[in-house]
């Protein structure tokens, strides 16, 4: 066996199994949806659907809807960006604090901090909803005790949106913390020691050692985190009681959900899903290129 063939076989051995599973599972549903997005499959044509061209795509962008497609799109972007920002900042910050030599009881801190990830989401999201209640919720009770005015969290559109985001930040930071904690382990101590000898400031060390070295692990996590958050309807649905007040807390996927499950408009839902797909594809291509995540560091 020639060395190059042997090397290729080794690569195939490493990469192929994961790929076969992925392709096996993903290709059919994806192609099915592409076809569906050009079809008129809906309540009246659930089995006898046919290809009708771009009609669904035109509708996605032009059909008047309440709330408006473009408003929802902007909300989705805000929702995603704010969530990811806090997930990553809080997660990395806690990981850095935990990673200091002097801290004792790390195991306990780590475990307690990971709890929001570990508890079943449905019930915790609903207890958060209870915590946001104007009169009986603990958040307002704490705020008034601290001399702050009580907030009508679930009645105003902006307040409700903030409440949903707070809940999701709480649910999501442990994940980023764990990833960052893992990533920090790959940084050899001597790099910091050398920097200390040069008299580098903490900011300088963060900027020039920590961030570049955790980047290869964090960038994929952030990319995927963005994709998941963009499409994560559950928490919004539970905390805002399906979009209250007045459908003002929806994000784009709730349109997909409603189209498919409430109105049986499968063709339209598939077209909207394709649009979401392309938005996320464009984002990840740009983001990955900017951060050079596919390249090696050494």
Tokens of 12: 């195939």
Stretch that binds another protein, among 40-48, 71-79, 80-88, 203-211 (CB under 8 A): 40-48
Minimum Å gap between C-beta 165 and another protein is 15
Under the binding rule (CB under 8 A), the answer on residue 150 touching another protein is no
Binding-site member from 72, 151, 181, 236 for another protein (CB under 8 A):
181
Under the binding rule (CB under 8 A), the answer on residue 124 touching another protein is yes
Under the binding rule (CB under 8 A), the answer on residue 204 touching another protein is no
Minimum Å gap between C-beta 283 and another protein is 9
User: What is the largest distance, in Å, between two alpha-carbon atoms of the chain?
Assistant: 78
Site for another protein in 235-274 (CB under 8 A): 241, 243-248, 253, 256-258, 260-266, 268-270, 273
Minimum Å gap between C-beta 78 and another protein is 19
Binding-site member from 78, 89, 148, 294 for another protein (CB under 8 A):
294
Binding-site member from 186, 204, 208, 286 for another protein (CB under 8 A):
186
Minimum Å gap between C-beta 77 and another protein is 15
Paired strand residues for 51: 39
Under the binding rule (CB under 8 A), the answer on residue 297 touching another protein is yes
Size of the site for another protein (CB under 8 A): 133
Give the list of residues 6+ apart from residue 122 with CB closer than 8 angstroms, or none.
234, 238
Under the binding rule (CB under 8 A), the answer on residue 88 touching another protein is no
Under the binding rule (CB under 8 A), the answer on residue 106 touching another protein is yes
Binding-site member from 77, 82, 109, 162 for another protein (CB under 8 A):
109
Tokens of 162: 């903030």
Give CA–CA dist 210/203, Å, rounded.
10
Binding-site member from 74, 188, 194, 206 for another protein (CB under 8 A):
188
* Torsion of the alpha carbons at 284, 290, 291 and 295, rounded to the nearest 10: 90
Tokens of 172: 């999501």
Stretch that binds another protein, among 76-84, 113-121, 203-211 (CB under 8 A): 113-121
Under the binding rule (CB under 8 A), the answer on residue 293 touching another protein is yes
Question: How many CB atoms are located within 10 Å of the residue 85 CB?
Answer: 11
Under the binding rule (CB under 8 A), the answer on residue 165 touching another protein is no
Under the binding rule (CB under 8 A), the answer on residue 61 touching another protein is no
**Angle between the N-to-C axes of helices 3-37 and 266-291, in degrees from 0 to 180, rounded to the nearest 10:** 140
Under the binding rule (CB under 8 A), the answer on residue 72 touching another protein is no
Long-range contact set of residues 193-196: C-beta below 8 Å, sequence gap at least 24: none
Minimum Å gap between C-beta 74 and another protein is 18
Under the binding rule (CB under 8 A), the answer on residue 91 touching another protein is no
Helix residue ranges per DSSP H, the chain? 3-37, 55-62, 69-98, 106-113, 115-118, 121-131, 138-145, 157-184, 189-197, 202-205, 211-230, 234-239, 252-257, 266-291
Tokens of 27: 């290709």
- 260 phi-psi bin (left φ>0, alpha ψ -120 to 50, beta other): alpha
Question: How many CB atoms are located within 10 Å of the residue 95 CB?
Answer: 22
Binding-site member from 117, 143, 162, 195 for another protein (CB under 8 A):
117
């Amino acid at each position: 066996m020639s060395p190059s063939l042997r090397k290729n076989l080794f690569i195939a051995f490493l990469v192929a199994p994961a790929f076969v599973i992925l392709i096996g599972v993903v290709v059919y549903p994806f192609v099915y949806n592409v076809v569906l997005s050009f079809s008129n499959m809906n309540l009246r044509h659930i089995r006898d659907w046919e290809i009708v061209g771009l009609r669904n795509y035109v509708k996605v962008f032009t059909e008047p809807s309440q709330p408006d497609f473009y408003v929802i799109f902007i909300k989705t972007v805000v929702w995603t960006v704010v969530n990811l920002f806090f997930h990553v900042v809080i997660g990395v910050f806690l990981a850095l604090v935990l990673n200091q030599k002097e801290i004792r009881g790390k195991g306990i801190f780590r475990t307690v901090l990971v709890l929001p990830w570990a508890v079943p989401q449905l019930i915790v999201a609903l207890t958060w909803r209870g915590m946001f209640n104007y009169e009986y919720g603990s958040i307002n009770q704490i705020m008034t005790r601290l001399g702050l005015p009580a907030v009508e969290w679930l009645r105003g559109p902006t307040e409700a949106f903030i409440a949903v985001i707070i809940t999701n930040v709480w649910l999501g930071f442990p994940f980023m913390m764990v990833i960052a904690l893992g990533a920090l382990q790959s940084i050899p101590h001597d790099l910091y020691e050398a920097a200390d000898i040069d008299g580098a400031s903490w900011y300088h060390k963060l900027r020039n050692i920590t961030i570049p070295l955790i980047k290869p692990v964090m960038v994929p996590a952030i990319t995927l985190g963005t994709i998941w958050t963009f499409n994560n309807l559950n928490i919004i649905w539970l905390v805002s009681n399906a979009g209250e007040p007045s459908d003002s807390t929806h994000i784009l996927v709730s349109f997909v959900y409603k189209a498919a499950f409430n109105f049986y408009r499968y063709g339209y839902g598939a077209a909207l899903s394709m649009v979401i797909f392309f938005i996320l594809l464009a984002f990840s291509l740009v983001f990955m290129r900017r951060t050079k995540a596919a390249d090696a560091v050494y």
